[in-house]
Amino acid sequence: MSETLPQFPYYADPIVDAVFEQTSIVCSACGKQREWKYQGVFYSVDEDLIICPWCIADGHASAKFDGEFQEADFAKTASRESVLAVRTRTPSVGTWNPIFWPDHCGECCQYIGDLRNHWSAEIIESATAQADIRAIAELTRMTTDEILEWAKRGAIYLRLFKCVECGKYRLALDLD
């Protein structure tokens, strides 16, 4: 029996990041036997929880254990609903340090992955990505060329996001 994993509107492909492991579990939230186990972080006072993807997607795990999945800062311009969905119904994005979760069109963006795995001129030269690279360069006192060079080498990480409304790209700095 293979179950189709739920979709996460704010996390494009958690399977690629090994957020879920295929193994038999009994979920702490729904009590059901499942074939997928969540491997990521869950911030809750309860420990040793075993959580299935479905209880993340429908908010059950977050509600039952009063927990959240992200360690991130959010834009004030992102809708409260989208911030709540990222914090309570989206698997944790495995970053080295807390990141700034970008928004666009008034909503939190969807996490795509490490830019290194999605390297393309279309993305990097887009106006929104260029604006983020300039802001990151200013923040880190580096040049935009240096930012891209370091990101390519994996000396710093640029997390790639995409607008859920218009599809434009945004980048967030994740320092090792």
Q: Is 112 in the site for Zn ion (CB under 5 A)?
A: no
Q: Is 89 in the site for Zn ion (CB under 5 A)?
A: no
End-to-end CA distance of the chain: 40
Q: What does the alpha-carbon distance between residue 174 and residue 176 come to, in Å, rounded to a whole number?
A: 6
Question: Of 49 and 137, which has the nearer Cβ to Zn ion?
Answer: 49
Contact 134, 120 (CB under 8 A): no
Stretch binding Zn ion (CB under 5 A), from 42-50, 125-133, 146-154, 157-165: 157-165
- Tell me the site size for Zn ion, rule CB under 5 A: 11
Alpha carbon distances (Å) from 85 to 26, 47, 91, 123: 24, 22, 10, 25
**What are phi and psi for residue 41, nearest 5 degrees?**
-80, 145
DSSP secondary structure string for all residues of 46-65: S-S----HHHHHTSHHHHHH
Q: Could you say which of 30, 57, 123, 137 contacts Zn ion (CB under 5 A)? A: 30
Q: Could you say which of 29, 147, 158, 173 contacts Zn ion (CB under 5 A)? A: 29
Q: Could you say which of 75, 78, 83, 163 contacts Zn ion (CB under 5 A)? A: 163
Question: Of 121 and 127, which has the nearer Cβ to Zn ion?
Answer: 127
Q: Is 105 in the site for Zn ion (CB under 5 A)?
A: yes
Question: Which parts of this chain interact with Zn ion (CB under 5 A)?
Answer: 27, 29-30, 52, 55, 104-105, 163, 165-166, 168
